[in-house]
Amino acid sequence: MAIQSSDGSPAVSRTTPDSRPLSPDRRAGVPVSLKGVAFAGERGVSRVEVSTDDGRTWQEARRDYPGTRLTWALRSYAWRPANPGEYQLAVRAPDGTGAVQPSEERGLAPEGATGYHRVTARVVA
């Protein structure tokens, strides 16, 4: 996970399913808790959004801990996949100024990492 500098670089957000893999008990219609962190330095994180369709639509995640200028914000999202198959999950975090995290990936140097964190989830019948 990359930590942002205070020079105005975009927010960073990451997500993972809870610590258990999507095993046979992770079936269509069964809730999965997606949890993660976000950071935007002095600008703060206004909200975190989760996509279960590779960024076509976004839903707001629950803010479990808002974070501070020095700490990560914690959030979660209760996802109930309706059907078996592969899902492309993504997460983004608009900062306190309203600027949305850019989707383009960039490494940590020289201005901090960017890009949505993406995960492929497989759901069984």
Mean pLDDT value across residues 61-82: 92
Mean pLDDT value across residues 81-93: 93
Closest alpha carbon to 83 in 51, 115, 44, 123: 123
Closest alpha carbon to 107 in 35, 12, 43, 36: 12
Is residue 81 a part of any domain in this protein? yes
Task: Copy the structure tokens of residue 52.
Answer: 């279960």
Is residue 100 a part of any domain in this protein? yes
Closest alpha carbon to 85 in 44, 26, 17, 38: 26
Task: Copy the structure tokens of residue 73.
Answer: 């914000």
Is residue 19 a part of any domain in this protein? yes
Higher pLDDT: 3 or 89? It is 89
Share of the chain above pLDDT 90, in %: 45
Domain count, the chain: 1
Task: List the CATH number of the domain containing 31.
Answer: 2.60.40.650
Mean pLDDT value across residues 78-101: 92
pTM for this one? 0.77
CB-based contact 46:29 (threshold 8 Å): no
Q: Is the pLDDT of residue 86 over 80?
A: yes
Q: What is the pLDDT of residue 16?
A: 47
CB-based contact 104:63 (threshold 8 Å): no
Q: What is the pLDDT of residue 27?
A: 84
Mean pLDDT value across residues 89-95: 92
Q: What is the pLDDT of residue 102?
A: 86
Higher pLDDT: 98 or 11? It is 98
Is residue 62 a part of any domain in this protein? yes
Is residue 20 a part of any domain in this protein? yes
Is residue 6 a part of any domain in this protein? no
Closest alpha carbon to 42 in 1, 63, 70, 73: 70
Mean pLDDT value across residues 75-92: 93
